[in-house]
Amino acid sequence: MYYMMQKDEPVLLKTLKDIGYFVWWGGKNDLVPAENGFDDYCNVKYIPDKKPRKETNLHAYDAWRGTSDGDNYYSFYAGKLEKAPDEEQYYDHDWAMVYGAVDVIRSWADRKQPLCIYLPLDYPHPPYGVEEPWFSMIDTDKLPPRIPAPESWEGKPSILKGIYERQRLKGWSEERWNRLRAVYYGMCARVDHQFGLIVNALKEAGIYDDTAIFVFSDHGDFTGDYGLVEKTQNTFEDCLVRVPFIIKPPSWVNGKAGVRDTLVELIDFPATVEDLLGIEPGHTHFGRSLLPLIEGKTDKHRDAVFCEGGRLRGEKHCMELQSSSSTSEKGLYWPRLGLQIKEGPEHTKAVMCRTRDFKYVRMLYESDELYDLRKDPYELNNLINDPKMKGVLAEMKERLLVFYQETCDVVPHKANKR
């Protein structure tokens, strides 16, 4: 979180701005160093005229946590959010950005310059809190099953057990878990509603058909799975790494509507944009355009997907020491960040290789993981030492080796004078 894309690194927003797009950025910055400014990446870094109430920042205004010795203190559960007496709705940062995006879309109909809207919203990131009607929208009886905490954490990354013990949620009833999960789903439903406002604005402006829309998340969330909340930085359970990715192509692409049941990575997003616009990238990357899938020309894309995280021992600059939660038990993220500064439970460097049927995780300083996702979709039974899985393990290790060989070194496209 403290090391963003530097000026000499390729960023899609800059690429689009450089080829003539008007880039409007409304939302948080988890992308570039703020001290460098935003002029290289966008024409407008939106600041709303009407500022949200400071109390809508649930990280800073956290009376909802209760007492420091209580079992809600590290749960991230804020619950039902109430609007101020003079508000028509619970006007927070996300609402401000969505309204700003709607306004710029409505004003764009007669302009000749192509428009890119970058709208990185906070929701449904924890803390888990949402206003009506979304707070009461979810029927808890219809929630999918929650993945239980393991009876024994043997075979699972040690940092998970450490977080589990620190978050103090072991005594929660299923009713409480369901209420937390319902709020998270309500937060997702609010984002769905806000997305609908954007789509309607595009249609009203007469530019919906010519617009490509990409909706995705940067990571998932435990939200009660394994008895945990929030996320980790170096474990790869499906609830964390299998995130939504929705694409609506422009009308001139002969797209076939539907769900594609194939493996993709988020790095395929910029590759798809480049393919749509005929951009020849001036750098090496490993994304693959999704247009052949969208157009129904193929149902295959990747045989495996990968994810990396964690750090080497002694890498203090990778411990997120900049966050007060790393050293203070008052910090909301202390259960995780307080462990990331230790050398056990391990914040070990790790890499995941996932195929359709299997998941292999190589952990540098502790036991690896291997799961048969067909029989064990919850990833509770680590088969790394099962002699029957030796063949599968060898194949997964070979695939991981190919991944590293393909991506370990790149040569700049621009040659220097000798």
Cβ–Cβ < 8 Å for 210, 250: yes
Task: Collect contacts of 274-283 with beta carbons under 8 A, ≥24 apart.
Answer: 274/15, 276/212, 276/249, 276/250, 277/19, 279/15, 279/19, 281/10, 281/15, 282/10, 282/413, 282/414, 283/10, 283/410, 283/412, 283/413
Q: What's the confidence (pLDDT) of residue 2?
A: 79
Give the CA count within 13 Å in the CB-facing half-sphere of 137.
16
Both tokens of 310, joined, read 């964690």
User: Domain spanning 48-260 has what CATH number?
Assistant: 3.40.720.10
Cβ–Cβ < 8 Å for 94, 134: no
From residue 388, how far is each of 25, 100, 372, 391, 396 by CA, in Å? 52, 57, 12, 8, 14
Rounded Cα distance, 366 and 55, in Å: 42
Cis peptide bond N-terminal to 33, omega within 30: no
Strands (E), 317-400: 350-354, 358-363, 369-372
Q: Cβ-count burial of 48 within 10 angstroms (0-12 exposed, 13-18 middle, 19+ buried)? A: middle
User: Which of 340, 327, 253 shows the shortest CA–CA distance to 290?
Assistant: 253
Q: What's the confidence (pLDDT) of residue 344?
A: 86
Rounded Cα distance, 320 and 310, in Å: 11
Both tokens of 241, joined, read 């790494």
Q: What's the confidence (pLDDT) of residue 109?
A: 79
Cα maximum dimension of the chain: 69
Chain mean pLDDT for the chain: 96
Rounded Cα distance, 286 and 264, in Å: 12
Cβ–Cβ < 8 Å for 253, 276: yes
Q: What's the confidence (pLDDT) of residue 3?
A: 85
In the chain, CATH 3.40.720.10 sits at: 48-260
Instruction: Give the β-pairing of 44-45 and 369-372.
Output: unpaired
Tens of pLDDT along the chain (418 residues) come to 678 998 889 999 999 999 999 999 999 999 999 898 999 999 999 999 999 999 999 999 999 999 999 999 999 999 999 999 989 889 999 999 999 999 999 999 778 899 999 999 999 999 999 999 999 999 999 999 999 999 999 999 999 999 999 999 999 999 999 999 999 999 999 999 999 999 999 999 999 999 999 999 999 999 999 999 999 999 999 999 999 899 999 999 999 999 998 999 999 999 999 999 999 999 999 999 999 999 999 999 999 999 999 999 999 999 999 999 999 999 999 999 999 999 988 899 999 999 999 999 999 999 999 999 999 999 999 999 999 999 999 999 999 999 999 999 999 898 999 8
Both tokens of 13, joined, read 């927003």
Rounded Cα distance, 138 and 141, in Å: 9
Cβ–Cβ < 8 Å for 117, 24: yes
In the chain, CATH 3.30.1120.10 sits at: 303-310+348-407
Q: What's the confidence (pLDDT) of residue 1?
A: 66
Please give the CATH topology (third level) of the domain spanning 303-310+348-407. Answer: Arylsulfatase, C-terminal domain (3.30.1120)
Q: What's the confidence (pLDDT) of residue 110?
A: 78
Rounded Cα distance, 100 and 119, in Å: 10
What 8-state DSSP symbol labels residue 377? T
Rounded Cα distance, 13 and 32, in Å: 11
Cβ–Cβ < 8 Å for 293, 271: no
From residue 374, how far is each of 121, 359, 377 by CA, in Å? 34, 10, 6
